């Protein structure tokens, strides 16, 4: 079992790898103070990493592969183990990564919603870039599919975000590992942009067609690790007199996307708009597309303004506690919020 499967922050993973710790066994005989020195982190942080590592080693040793009773069936334990090895895509905002348990999960459908200008598209572009950070640098080295239904994907912005991502990843790495020979092959802005497969959609029929086509496309491009749809909503908010039909079409799309996520272990991120809904005498913000759509996604994250700060809130997740975290949209992309009180609030 490699370091890449450890459920720790991607930045810590990168530090471990660049300090030469490639497997769990290599961590078995290290003391926290040694590790802290090697990684240039606080001792308690190193101790936490060792604790997680030893727990994972135990898991691995105690339960070797079991045989399924029914072909194709998995025990809950198998699924649990599989989940432990699930990869995460970092958002580059530590607080957001923390409440997400390390970042956006592969094999799951995550819905992100918020008012115009809150940063949905920015998060989408950031993820399309971050998925490409190579495994050697603590990322997962995949490619991205970006389905743009609104026309908000701007190449110049993607280029800025990719450039900042590459520079910071390389800087961190060189800092951690001074004797490492710089080989930024593929670590170039243009390569990062070319690895985003961009589809521009101008109607809901095209949207349905492209989602149908995704299976075929990804079977030819197995290195795609994230599919971003920005936004799932736009074309479904016009011309639908038959709301029941709309619900059926959308549930169909959601099912297909979920299957894709499982089949190719990739992350699916759906951006959604919010609307005002009149309930109990006051207007409240709620996700577009109605109540039945809210069952379609595994995880749901709401982006909102809190004073002048942007916050993300986990509204729905089968495995994560509800929590909110501040984030910022900077010229480099999504980053940590600069706050007086930077603590993550658990609710």
What DSSP string describes 189-212?
HHHHHHTEEEEE--SHHHHHHHHH
Closer to other proteins by Cβ: residue 20 or 151: 151
For residue 219, count other CB atoms closer than 10 A to its CB: 11
Q: How many CA atoms lie within 13 A of 11 on its CB side?
A: 16
Asked if residue 10 lies in contact with residue 23, where contact means CB atoms within 8 angstroms, the answer is no
Is 109 within 8 Å of 123 (Cβ atoms)?
no
The single residue among 21, 137, 199, 311 that binds other proteins, judged by CB under 8 A, is 199
Among 274, 289, 323, 334, indicate the residue that binds other proteins (CB under 8 A): 274
Interface with other proteins: number of residues (CB under 8 A): 49
Among 30, 86, 198, 258, binds other proteins (CB under 8 A): 198
Give least dist CB 121 to other proteins, A.
Answer: 5
For residue 321, CA distances in Å to 88, 316, 317 come to: 17, 9, 7
Binding to other proteins (CB under 8 A): which residues in 131-160?
Answer: 145-146, 150-158
* Residue closer to other proteins (CB basis): 92 or 146: 146
Nearest approach in angstroms of CB 257 to other proteins is 16
x/- track of binding to other proteins for residues 240-259 (CB under 8 A): x-------------------
Q: Candidates 18-26, 88-96, 101-109, 301-309 — which segment interacts with other proteins by CB under 8 A?
A: 301-309
CA 243-244-247 angle, to 5 degrees, is 90
State how far the Cα of 315 lies from the Cα of 285, in Å rounded to an integer. 13
DSSP state, 181? P
Q: Are 131 and 144 in contact (CB under 8 A)?
A: yes
Region near other proteins per CB under 8 A, out of 35-43, 81-89, 173-181, 188-196: 188-196
Name the residue nearer to other proteins (CB basis): 6 or 227.
227
Residues 6+ apart with CB under 8 A from 248: none
Which residues are at the interface with other proteins (CB under 8 A)?
A: 115-117, 121-122, 145-146, 150-158, 190, 193-194, 196-200, 202-203, 206, 209-210, 213, 217, 233-235, 237-240, 273-276, 278, 283, 285, 305, 307-308, 331
């Amino acid at each position: 079992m490699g370091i890449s499967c450890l459920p720790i922050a991607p930045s810590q993973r990168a530090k471990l790898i660049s300090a030469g710790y490639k497997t769990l066994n290599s961590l078995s005989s290290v003391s926290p103070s040694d590790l802290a020195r090697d990684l240039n982190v606080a001792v308690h942080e190193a101790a936490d990493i060792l604790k997680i590592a030893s727990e994972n080693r135990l898991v691995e040793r105690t339960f070797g592969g079991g045989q399924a009773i029914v072909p194709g069936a998995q025990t809950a334990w198998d699924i649990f183990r599989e989940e432990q090895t699930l990869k995460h895509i970092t958002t580059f905002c530590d607080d957001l990564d923390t409440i997400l348990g390390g970042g956006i999960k592969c094999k799951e459908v995550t819905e992100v919603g918020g008012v115009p200008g809150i940063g949905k598209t920015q998060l989408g572009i950031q993820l399309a870039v971050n998925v490409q950070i190579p495994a050697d640098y603590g990322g997962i080295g995949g490619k991205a599919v970006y389905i743009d239904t609104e026309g908000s994907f701007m190449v110049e912005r993607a280029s800025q975000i990719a450039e900042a991502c590459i520079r910071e990843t390389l800087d961190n790495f060189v800092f951690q590992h001074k004797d490492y020979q710089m080989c930024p092959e593929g670590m170039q802005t243009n390569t990062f942009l070319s690895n985003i497969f961009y589809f521009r959609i101008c109607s809901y029929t095209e949207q349905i067609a492209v989602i149908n086509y995704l299976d075929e496309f990804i079977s030819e491009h197995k290195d795609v690790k994230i599919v971003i749809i920005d936004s799932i909503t736009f074309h479904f908010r016009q011309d639908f007199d038959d709301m029941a039909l709309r619900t059926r079409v959308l549930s169909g799309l959601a099912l297909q996307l979920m299957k894709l996520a499982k089949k190719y272990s990739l992350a699916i991120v759906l951006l959604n708009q919010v609307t005002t809904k009149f309930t109990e005498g006051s207007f409240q913000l709620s996700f577009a597309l109605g109540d039945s759509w809210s069952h379609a996604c595994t995880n749901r994250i709401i982006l909102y303004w809190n004073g002048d700060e942007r916050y993300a809130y986990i509204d729905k997740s089968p495995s994560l506690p509800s929590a909110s975290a501040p984030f910022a949209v900077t010229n480099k992309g999504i980053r940590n919020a600069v706050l007086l009180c930077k603590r993550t609030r658990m609710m």
